[in-house]
Amino acid sequence: MQFEKICVLGLGYIGLPTASTIANQGVQVIGVDVNPVIVDTLRNGGLHLHEPGLRTLVQAALASGKLTINDKPENADAFIIAVPTPFYGNKQADMRAVKSAAEAIVPYIQTGNLVILESTSPPRTTLDIVAPILAKSGLKPGEDFYLAYSPERVLPGQILRELIDNARVIGGINKESAEAGKALYAIFSRGEIIMTDSTTAEMVKLMENTYRDVNIAVANEFSRLAQRFGIDVWEAIAIANRHPRVKILQPGPGVGGHCISVDPWFLVEAAPDITPLIHTARKVNDSQPQVVVDLIQRVAKELKGCRVTLLGLSYKPDVDDIRESPALEVVSILAEAGTLVTVYEPFKKAVDLAENVILAPSLEDAIRNTDVIVLLVAHTQFLELEASYLADHTRCRLLVDTVNGWRAPEWTSTGFKIYRLGVGKQA
């Protein structure tokens, strides 16, 4: 199957890199987003996302004339839906953006077209939601046009490499649709392209992230047990992982991002009667920010009126993505307790926080006048901080490390008291 023109709906962390990558392969791409700020920013040469190498990739695609930005779809050979699927209310999947995107392309679908859903979705979304909407075109999915599901499986900070090199799963509503999807991704993918049915492909993505979520929940419970038993969970995990069949993940302030913290809920929503383990893991990880706050309170003695500086807001190191970040929940709990919170996030200069929370423009401003400094995100900049530097720039001598980023001896020898998450025998 030949593709001369492809329409990508949703220009976020997945849609924009995908559209730009395809365009740089010489295929005409229409990038579509309903957010006028995103459309205007891209048209004016700006970028609304932080991802290594993305600016260069987008600018090259735009300069080539192969990528154009629009606020509505156009006729094309293939349509890729890459819009967000968050949850709302009682952890239910919000499919409004997927439905709107499908509705938007109905007037443009022609015989022989291909439609691919990339948005992470509950099982049977392609068959039960997208297919009926597209059928409003008067064409039958799987017969008159091809329909498939292909989940993104990339890691923020490495999206551009993994987009090309990772294995790709194509789930068609029939074999012909899967083959058409494989032909599209073969334009730029160097990884193995695996064909299956659409519901299996939907499950694969959810299973991958749920597996990690459950394993992180075990690590977080281990950290709580270590705290109670008076041991160092980081030392215990390192020793346990010497076993050839054991690979315990790392505990921390919680689980964030648009995948691991969200996808398991799609399975719980779809089958609540047979997912007690998944549900419990989610509750464990969602409660971890409160565990962090409890540790801060033990260190500070009193939260109300205490000046606390939080280092990092993103859900993982060295990215600007704050979606579902547990750090935001830590901020919220502290602010509600009357804590005087200052936050420094080097990758995000503007964040909508509570009125009484200060977003510092620099590290020096954040730590200058504070009582407790909390390491929430293992940004390289924070891990490379020297104890002597911090001692010279703040009166604070109380540190809370939630990611095992600072070596205790170095800090204690400089006069700091450091308290680490999951450590019952504090230095």
Residue 124 has pLDDT above 80, yes or no: yes
> Does residue 138 lie in a domain region?
yes
pLDDT digits (tens, 9 = 90+) for 168-192: 999 999 999 999 999 999 999 999 9
- Whether 215 is in a domain gets the answer no
Segment 130-145 shows an average pLDDT of 98
Coil vs helix vs strand at 28: strand
The reported pLDDT for the residue numbered 425 is 75
Does 396 qualify as catalytic in the annotation?
no
| pLDDT band of 427, cuts 50, 70, 90 | low
> pTM of the predicted model, to two decimals?
0.89
Q: Confirm if 171 and 202 have CB atoms less than 8 A apart.
A: yes
**Where residue 90 falls among pLDDT bands split at 50, 70, 90?**
confident
- Are 343 and 418 within one domain? yes
146 and 279 assigned to the same domain: no
Q: Give domain status of residue 222, yes or no.
A: no
Q: What does the angle CA 394 – CA 252 – CA 341 come to, to the nearest 5 degrees?
A: 40
3-state SS, residue 333: helix
104, two tokens: 């938007």
Domain assignment present for 392: yes
pLDDT digits (tens, 9 = 90+) for 23-65: 999 999 999 999 999 999 999 999 998 888 999 999 999 999 9
Q: Edge-to-edge strands of the sheet including 5-9?
A: 67-70, 28-32, 5-9, 78-81, 114-117, 146-149, 168-172, 193-197
Query: Which entry of 66, 205, 316, 348 is annotated as an active-site residue?
Result: 205
Question: How many domains in the chain?
Answer: 2
pLDDT band for position 426 (cuts 50, 70, 90): low
Residue 212 lies in a domain: no
pLDDT value of residue 49: 87
Eight-state DSSP code of residue 12: S
Q: Is 304 a catalytic residue?
A: no
Q: Are residues 139 and 15 part of one domain?
A: yes
pLDDT for position 301: 94
299 and 362, same domain (yes or no): yes
Pair (414, 268) in one structural domain:
yes
Considering the domain boundaries, does residue 367 fall inside one?
yes
Which pair of structure tokens corresponds to residue 189? 């993918």
- 211: in domain: no
Q: Are residues 115 and 158 in the same domain?
A: yes
pLDDT tens across 331-380, in order?
999 999 999 999 999 998 888 898 889 999 999 999 999 999 999 999 99
397-418, pLDDT tens digit by residue? Answer: 999 999 999 988 889 999 999 9
CA distance 54 to 65: 17
Q: Does residue 143 sit in the same domain as residue 243? A: no
CATH code of 71's domain: 3.40.50.720
Catalytic one among 7, 66, 259, 348? 259
Residues 187 and 291 in one domain: no
- Quick one: 181 and 282 in the same domain? no
Domain housing 404: 230-427
Same domain, residue pair 160 and 42:
yes
